Structure formats: structure tokens, C-alpha cells
């Protein structure tokens, strides 16, 4: 997610012939990285930090783990195309319960409902894997190789000339790299070599996000 969503309520209320179901949880969600969580001494598990801020017994203690379970399960199933969510801080800030109808199941549902709605308000983004690309090429092909990298939404972070050989370091989305080795050989008459390794995940541009979700 790209922003914070405050005080989003998830209310699960069901009444049948007998005992009903009632769970009410209010969540605030915000972005957080694993490094930030560690610095704040918060438990970062499967991409999610859960913080219990309930005071005054508005939700009985035995139901709070159920809210966390509901939120974490919703993070795994995702809200955009079924992709899991990561780097999210979830704060349980308020809620209410019913003496008879409240249960662990009801609060798990309430946690899930609140989480999904909060995330949609917090501008969820799709992340894509970025690769570190190293290319060794005769310098005469530098312009051609660098232009091709740019056309793949990549950018060059370093370029070093060693004699007549140019060593290029770039960052390029993995989705743009299929068939790259063949293309590179063709551009340089087989005289360039390349290697790739994972670098990080970054937010996917909106135009591509819409295309990916449409395909999904």
C-alpha cells in the first residue's frame, strides 16, 4: 500500500434462528518495511505487522488473536488479483462485542472485512521484481545496448570502459527481460555477454498494473 487508511470498521453481524454472530473491529493500516518494523521492535511476519491498541476492554482479550488471524489471512489472499500483500502495518484501534453472540469466528470475519476495506482505501499497488543486469560488450555497441535497455523500462546505474570493452550495470524489470540473451547476441554479433540477479521489488506503473489485473 502507498498510504495510510485510518479507523476502518469491519462489522460482522449475522442472526439466524438461534444464537447470532457479532464481531466489530476497527483497523488502521499503513505502509511499513521489514527494516522499519525491526527498528521499532515490531514483529514482522509474512509481510505484515499487527499491533494491538485496544484499551478499556472494548474487545475481550480472547478475541484479539482472531482479528489478527482474519487480517493476516486476508493479506495472503490479497485484494488485487489474488496477489499476497506485504509491507503493511495493521493496528487494531477500536471495536465492540456482544455478550452472547460474539465469537472467535465472528471476530476473524470482522478483521478480514476491515482489513480488505482499509487496504482498498490505502492505495494498494502491485510490486514487480527488478533484476540487476550486467552486460559486457565491445564499446562500439554501447549506444545500441543502452538504447535497448531503456526500451525495456530499464536504467543504467553504472558504465565502465576497460580498454575497448564496456561493462554496463543496469536495473530492469524481470518481465521485460524474456529473450534478452538472444537479442543481445543479435545486436552485438555475438560479442556481448550478460548476467542477471534479483535486486528488489518496486511499484509497478499504473498502466501496467491495469493490464496485469485485466489479464488475471
9 vs 17, more confident:
9
Give the number of domains in the chain: 2
108 with 143, same domain: the answer is no
User: Across residues 38-47, what is the average pLDDT?
Assistant: 94
**CA–CA distance, 184 with 154 (Å, rounded to integer):** 15
- Asked if residue 51 lies in contact with residue 61, where contact means CB atoms within 8 angstroms, the answer is no
Average pLDDT over residues 121-144: 96
CATH of the domain at 36: 3.30.230.10
Q: What are phi and psi of 170, to 5 degrees?
A: -140, 165
- Round to whole Å and give the CA distance between 89 and 69: 14
The CA distance from 95 to 69, in Å, is 16
- Grid coordinates given for 12: 460482522
Same domain, 162 and 208: yes
User: Does residue 128 carry a pLDDT above 90?
Assistant: yes
Last residue of a domain, one of 121, 139, 154: 121
Distance, CA of 10 to CA of 6 (rounded, Å): 12
pLDDT band for position 216 (cuts 50, 70, 90): low
Q: Is the pLDDT of residue 15 over 90?
A: no
Of 104, 121, 138, the one marking the end of a domain is 121
Q: Which among 109, 112, 99, 104 is positioned nearest to 29, based on CA atoms?
A: 112
| Last residue within a domain, chosen from 73, 94, 121 | 121
Confidence tier at 149 by pLDDT (50, 70, 90): very high
Clarify whether residues 112 and 136 are in a common domain: no
For residue 170, the enclosing domain spans 127-215
- Axis crossing angle, helix 180-187 with helix 142-151, rounded to the nearest 10: 150
Q: pLDDT of 70-94, one tens digit each? A: 999 999 999 988 899 999 999 999 9
Q: pLDDT, tens digit, for every residue of 173-203? A: 999 999 999 999 999 999 999 999 999 999 9
Q: What residues contact residue 138 under an 8 Å CB cut-off, 6+ apart?
A: 164, 165, 166, 188, 191, 192
Amino acid at each position: 500500500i502507498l498510504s495510510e487508511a485510518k479507523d476502518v470498521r469491519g462489522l460482522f453481524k449475522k442472526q439466524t434462528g438461534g444464537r447470532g454472530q457479532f464481531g466489530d473491529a476497527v483497523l488502521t493500516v499503513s505502509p511499513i518495511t521489514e527494516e522499519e518494523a525491526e527498528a521499532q521492535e515490531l514483529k514482522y511476519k509474512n509481510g505484515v505487522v499487527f499491533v494491538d491498541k485496544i484499551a478499556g476492554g472494548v474487545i475481550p482479550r480472547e478475541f484479539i488473536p482472531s482479528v489478527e488471524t482474519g487480517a493476516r489471512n486476508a493479506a495472503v489472499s490479497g485484494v488485487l488479483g489474488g496477489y499476497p500483500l506485504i509491507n503493511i502495518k495493521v493496528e487494531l484501534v477500536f471495536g465492540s462485542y456482544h455478550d452472547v453472540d460474539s465469537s472467535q469466528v465472528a471476530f476473524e470475519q470482522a478483521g478480514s472485512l476491515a482489513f480488505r476495506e482499509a487496504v482498498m482505501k490505502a492505495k494498494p499497488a502491485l510490486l514487480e521484481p527488478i533484476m540487476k543486469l550486467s552486460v559486457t560488450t565491445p564499446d562500439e555497441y554501447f549506444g545500441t545496448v543502452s538504447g535497448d535497455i531503456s526500451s525495456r523500462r530499464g536504467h543504467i546505474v553504472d558504465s565502465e570502459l576497460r580498454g575497448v570493452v564496456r561493462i554496463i550495470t543496469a536495473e530492469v524489470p524481470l518481465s521485460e527481460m524474456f529473450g534478452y540473451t538472444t537479442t543481445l547476441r543479435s545486436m552485438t554479433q555475438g560479442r556481448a555477454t550478460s548476467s542477471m540477479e534479483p535486486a528488489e521489488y518496486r511499484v509497478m506503473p499504473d498502466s501496467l498494473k491495469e493490464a496485469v489485473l485485466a489479464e488475471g
